[in-house]
Amino acid sequence: MLRRREEEDPRKTLKEGREVTACGVKFLQSLKKSCNKEVDTYASCIDCGSSKLYISKCRPEQRYLDQCVEDNLNIERPPLGYFSKIHVHESSHPPPAPIFRDYKKEADEILHSLPDDRKMRKDYRRFNDWRISAFEN
Amino acid sequence: MSKGPQYQQDMPPPGGYRKFNWERTVLWRPGIIIPGLVGCAVFGIYQAYYQKRHRQTEKFEDRDILNAMEPFIAAERDREWLRLLKKNREIENELMKDVPGWKTGTWFGEPVYYTLGEKWWDPAQLEVFAHSPRKSQMDEMLFHHHSEYSAPKFYDKWIPDFIGRYIW
């Protein structure tokens, strides 16, 4: 889902985004149903332990929570560094095809279709790529 | 070499000085101070190493958690962003419905960016805040996180408003 977003625009990934959030919400709801007490102690430990929300201060509570989650939901905690490694996913969509536009052709088409006595705009200027100007970049 | 002028020099007594009586110092003698200093230095080196490792692990874990959260946060952010842009679009529709030749999102029918075609491009800050009050724009630009206590302090009631709104 993230990969898709890197390549295209956000409007196309709205559906996947909704699925992602729904999945997250479902997980949190299942947590609340099964491990509420451990989650509360862990969260308040992190919240009230320091202003910088250090996690290393709350290792015992974390162990309790992991044990509870393993027992109830059968989800193992990913080892430290799992999300910092590179994971390659196979996706069901093909990668988006790059679009190459021929600007000269398009410009020529438009120019040819104009009437012969067309008037140039007063503020037109040919694009001089090589020109350095003090006020424009 | 001829002998120079004769001087009376202050030399140690014949037989040398007597040995220093370390017994009169309770504890401090070379055999204790030097190992003590070396031990402190070694301990300090170890401590620095382990503390750095702990700090690094802490930061690594925080970054790890951020990486794991990224899809959720990005999805929510995208939804909110598109909602705001849609609100802007509706306001523009509402405002310009009587102007002839106007298509929203373009300049009288001409697209704003020529080379973009069908691609998505985020609008500029000016366009995004075009229909918002100035306060929201300044809030967005001047916002920053505080690492310390960031609620009002005792002197905030004496700072005039035209300065105070830019400080916190």
Write the pLDDT tens digit of every residue in B70-110.
989 999 999 999 999 999 989 888 888 877 777 777 777 67
pTM of the model: 0.71
Partner residue facing B72 (CB), from A10, A13, A21:
A21
> Would you say A100 and B81 are in contact if contact means Cβ atoms under 8 Å apart?
no
Same domain, A68 and A31: yes
Establish if A33 belongs to a structural domain. yes
Same domain, A20 and A58: yes
Helices A14-49 and B30-95 cross at an angle (nearest 10°) of: 140
Establish if A95 belongs to a structural domain. no
Same domain, A80 and A107: no
- What per-residue confidence (pLDDT) applies to A27? 92
Greater pLDDT, B28 or B97: B28
Partner residue facing A10 (CB), from B72, B81, B147:
B81
Does the distance separating the beta carbons of B147 and A14 come in below 8 Å?
no
Residues facing residue B111 across a β-bridge? B106
For residue B166, the one-letter residue type is Y
Same domain, A16 and A65: yes
pLDDT mean over B118-143: 87
From CA B101, how far away is CA B50, in angstroms rounded? 69
From CA A131, how far away is CA A125, in angstroms rounded? 12
* pLDDT > 70? residue B26: yes
Establish if A34 belongs to a structural domain. yes
What is the ipTM score, two decimals?
0.74
Tell how many helices (H) and how many strands (E) occur in chain B: 4, 2
Among B50, B69, B70, B72, which would you mutate to test the A interface (most chain A Cβ atoms within 10 Å of its Cβ)?
B72
Establish if A79 belongs to a structural domain. yes
Structure tokens at B64: 């790890």
Partner residue facing B70 (CB), from A2, A14, A16:
A2
Residue A24 distance to chain B (closest CA, Å): 8
Partner residue facing A5 (CB), from B60, B74, B118:
B74
Establish if A93 belongs to a structural domain. no
Residues facing residue B106 across a β-bridge? B111
Same domain, A112 and A76: no
Residue A86 distance to chain B (closest CA, Å): 11
Same domain, A54 and A118: no
Same domain, A18 and A72: yes
Return mean pLDDT, chain B.
86
Picking from A32, A23, A35, the residue whose alpha carbon sits closest to that of residue A72 is: A35
Establish if A96 belongs to a structural domain. no
- What per-residue confidence (pLDDT) applies to B1? 56
- What per-residue confidence (pLDDT) applies to B126? 86
Does the distance separating the beta carbons of A17 and B148 come in below 8 Å?
no
- What per-residue confidence (pLDDT) applies to B130? 87
> Would you say A18 and B75 are in contact if contact means Cβ atoms under 8 Å apart?
yes
- What per-residue confidence (pLDDT) applies to B84? 93
Question: In chain B, how long is the greatest CA-to-CA distance?
Answer: 120
Q: Which residues of chain B make contact with A8, given a CB cutoff of 8 A?
A: 120
Picking from B42, B136, B33, B47, the residue whose alpha carbon sits closest to that of residue B84 is: B136
- Print the domain residue range for A79: 2-84
Same domain, A74 and A108: no
Picking from B112, B123, B116, B139, the residue whose alpha carbon sits closest to that of residue B88 is: B123
Contacts of A110 (CB under 8 A, 6+ apart): none
pLDDT in tens, B9-22: 888 888 888 888 88
For residue A67, the one-letter residue type is Q
Does the distance separating the beta carbons of B54 and A55 come in below 8 Å?
no
From CA B32, how far away is CA B102, in angstroms rounded? 90
Same domain, A71 and A7: yes
Residue B101 burial (CB count, 10 A): 7
- From A12, which residue of chain B is nearest by alpha-carbon distance? B120
Q: Environment class of residue A65 by beta-carbon count within 10 Å: exposed (0-12), middle (13-18) or buried (19+)?
A: buried
Same domain, A75 and A112: no
> Would you say A26 and A60 are in contact if contact means Cβ atoms under 8 Å apart?
no
Same domain, A68 and A6: yes
Greater pLDDT, B116 or A45: A45
Task: Please tell me the total count of domains within chain A.
Answer: 2
From CA B79, how far away is CA A17, in angstroms rounded? 8
Does the distance separating the beta carbons of A10 and B119 come in below 8 Å?
no
- What per-residue confidence (pLDDT) applies to A5? 75
For residue B72, the one-letter residue type is F
Positions of chain A with pLDDT lower than 50, given as ranges: none
Establish if A97 belongs to a structural domain. no
Establish if A36 belongs to a structural domain. yes
Same domain, A72 and A9: yes
